[in-house]
Amino acid sequence: MSDVEIRDNSTLHRFEATLDGEIVGRAYYRPVKGGLIFTHTEVDPAAEGTGVGSALAKTALTSLRETGSGAVLQCPFFRSYVSKHPEFEDVVMPMPAGPAE
Protein backbone atom coordinates (compact mmCIF):
# COMPACT_ATOMS: atom_id res chain seq x y z
CA MET A 1 0.00 0.00 0.00
CA SER A 2 1.39 3.44 -0.89
CA ASP A 3 0.94 6.71 0.97
CA VAL A 4 -2.49 8.24 1.22
CA GLU A 5 -3.13 11.28 -0.98
CA ILE A 6 -5.78 13.87 -0.12
CA ARG A 7 -7.44 16.33 -2.47
CA ASP A 8 -10.36 18.73 -2.24
CA ASN A 9 -13.00 17.78 -4.79
CA SER A 10 -14.92 21.06 -4.54
CA THR A 11 -17.32 20.00 -7.30
CA LEU A 12 -18.62 17.18 -5.09
CA HIS A 13 -18.08 19.14 -1.84
CA ARG A 14 -15.75 16.63 -0.27
CA PHE A 15 -12.13 15.94 0.50
CA GLU A 16 -11.07 12.60 -0.96
CA ALA A 17 -8.39 10.20 0.22
CA THR A 18 -6.81 7.88 -2.32
CA LEU A 19 -4.56 4.87 -1.83
CA ASP A 20 -2.99 3.25 -4.86
CA GLY A 21 -5.22 5.39 -7.11
CA GLU A 22 -8.50 4.30 -5.48
CA ILE A 23 -10.73 6.62 -3.43
CA VAL A 24 -10.93 5.03 0.01
CA GLY A 25 -12.15 7.92 2.15
CA ARG A 26 -14.34 11.00 1.92
CA ALA A 27 -14.99 13.98 4.19
CA TYR A 28 -18.18 15.70 3.06
CA TYR A 29 -18.81 19.39 3.61
CA ARG A 30 -21.15 22.27 2.88
CA PRO A 31 -19.66 25.67 2.10
CA VAL A 32 -20.81 28.52 4.34
CA LYS A 33 -19.70 32.11 4.76
CA GLY A 34 -16.24 31.99 6.30
CA GLY A 35 -15.58 28.29 5.85
CA LEU A 36 -16.98 24.78 5.60
CA ILE A 37 -19.41 22.67 7.61
CA PHE A 38 -18.05 19.12 7.81
CA THR A 39 -21.09 16.85 7.85
CA HIS A 40 -19.84 13.29 7.48
CA THR A 41 -16.64 11.31 7.06
CA GLU A 42 -16.46 7.80 5.69
CA VAL A 43 -13.60 5.39 5.13
CA ASP A 44 -13.95 2.19 3.15
CA PRO A 45 -13.84 -0.89 5.42
CA ALA A 46 -10.62 -2.18 3.80
CA ALA A 47 -8.84 1.09 4.72
CA GLU A 48 -10.16 1.46 8.29
CA GLY A 49 -7.44 1.73 10.90
CA THR A 50 -4.81 2.88 8.40
CA GLY A 51 -4.94 6.59 9.24
CA VAL A 52 -7.05 7.60 6.25
CA GLY A 53 -9.65 9.42 8.37
CA SER A 54 -6.98 11.28 10.32
CA ALA A 55 -5.23 12.26 7.10
CA LEU A 56 -8.51 13.63 5.74
CA ALA A 57 -9.17 15.69 8.86
CA LYS A 58 -5.61 16.98 9.17
CA THR A 59 -5.37 17.98 5.51
CA ALA A 60 -8.82 19.62 5.44
CA LEU A 61 -8.22 21.60 8.63
CA THR A 62 -4.72 22.64 7.55
CA SER A 63 -6.09 23.78 4.20
CA LEU A 64 -8.73 25.91 5.90
CA ARG A 65 -6.17 27.43 8.25
CA GLU A 66 -3.92 28.34 5.31
CA THR A 67 -6.78 30.18 3.59
CA GLY A 68 -7.99 31.90 6.75
CA SER A 69 -11.26 29.95 6.71
CA GLY A 70 -12.98 28.08 9.51
CA ALA A 71 -14.64 24.72 10.07
CA VAL A 72 -17.97 23.86 11.66
CA LEU A 73 -17.71 20.34 13.03
CA GLN A 74 -21.08 18.60 12.65
CA CYS A 75 -19.19 15.40 11.80
CA PRO A 76 -18.46 13.28 14.90
CA PHE A 77 -15.14 12.11 13.46
CA PHE A 78 -13.90 15.68 12.95
CA ARG A 79 -15.05 16.63 16.48
CA SER A 80 -13.15 13.66 17.88
CA TYR A 81 -10.07 14.47 15.80
CA VAL A 82 -9.93 18.06 17.05
CA SER A 83 -10.44 16.93 20.66
CA LYS A 84 -7.32 14.77 20.25
CA HIS A 85 -5.44 17.46 18.28
CA PRO A 86 -6.17 20.76 20.05
CA GLU A 87 -3.69 22.54 17.77
CA PHE A 88 -6.63 22.77 15.33
CA GLU A 89 -9.06 24.44 17.75
CA ASP A 90 -8.23 27.82 16.16
CA VAL A 91 -9.84 26.63 12.92
CA VAL A 92 -13.15 25.65 14.56
CA MET A 93 -15.98 28.15 14.22
CA PRO A 94 -19.53 28.08 15.63
CA MET A 95 -22.51 27.02 13.58
CA PRO A 96 -23.67 29.98 11.49
CA ALA A 97 -27.00 31.50 12.50
CA GLY A 98 -29.90 30.88 10.21
CA PRO A 99 -32.91 28.68 9.63
CA ALA A 100 -32.59 24.96 10.29
CA GLU A 101 -32.42 22.77 7.20
Residue type at 88? F
Closest CA to 28 of 80, 69, 76: 76
Domain residues for 68?
5-90
Residue 59 clears pLDDT 70, i.e. is over it: yes
Q: What percent of the chain has pLDDT over 90?
A: 88
Give 27's contacts (C-beta < 8 A, 6+ positions apart): 14, 15, 38, 40, 41, 56, 57, 60, 75, 77, 78
Structural domain contains residue 99: no
CA dist., res. 63 & res. 60, Å (int): 5
Q: Are 15 and 29 in contact (CB under 8 A)?
A: yes
Structural domain contains residue 34: yes
Structural domain contains residue 97: no
Structural domain contains residue 98: no
Where residue 12 sits, what CATH number does that domain have? 3.40.630.30
Q: What is the mean pLDDT of the chain?
A: 93
Whole-structure pTM value: 0.90
Q: What is the model's pLDDT at position 2?
A: 58
How many independent structural domains does the chain possess? 1
Give residue 95's pLDDT band: very low, low, confident or very high (50, 70, 90): confident
Structural domain contains residue 40: yes
Q: Average the pLDDT over 78-96 and give the result.
A: 95
